[in-house]
Amino acid sequence: MSNSKKRRPGRPAKYPPEFQRDAVAMVLDEGRSIADVARSIGVVEGTLGNWVAKARRERAAGTGVTADERAENAQLRAENAQLRMERDLLKRSLAFWVKESAS
C-alpha cells in the first residue's frame, strides 16, 4: 500500500475557479451559511470556509482585483512586452530590407 493520499471516488483534485467563485457568491452575496452551501454543493465546510475567508480578505483589501486576476494581468503584461519586442524587431528588419533593396 502506498503512502499517497486516498481521494474519494468522483472528487476532483482541485475545484475550478468558477466553481469556487460561485460557491463563495452563494455565501457572501446571497447570505447563506457556509454549512448550508457546503452541504448543497458537496464540499467540506472547512474548504468552503477557506475560500470565503480568502474572498473576504480580497474584498477588504479594496483592490477589487482577485489573486487570479493579478496573476493573469502579470502574464498578459509579460506577453505584451514580448510582442512589443517582436514588433520592434520586425520594424527594424523591414527598414533594413527596404534600405538594402533601394541601394
Residue 31 domain-assigned?
yes
Task: Examine the domain organization and report whether 47 and 89 are in the same domain.
Answer: no
Say what the pTM is. Answer: 0.52
Q: How many domains does the chain have?
A: 2
Task: Examine the domain organization and report whether 48 and 60 are in the same domain.
Answer: yes
28-59 pLDDT, tens digit per residue, is 999 999 999 999 999 999 999 999 999 898 88
Q: Mapped to the 3 state alphabet, what secondary structure does 51-91 carry? A: HHHHHHHHHHHCCCCCHHHHHHHHHHHHHHHHHHHHHHHHH
Range of the domain at 40: 14-64
59-92 pLDDT, tens digit per residue, is 887 766 777 888 899 999 999 999 999 999 999 9
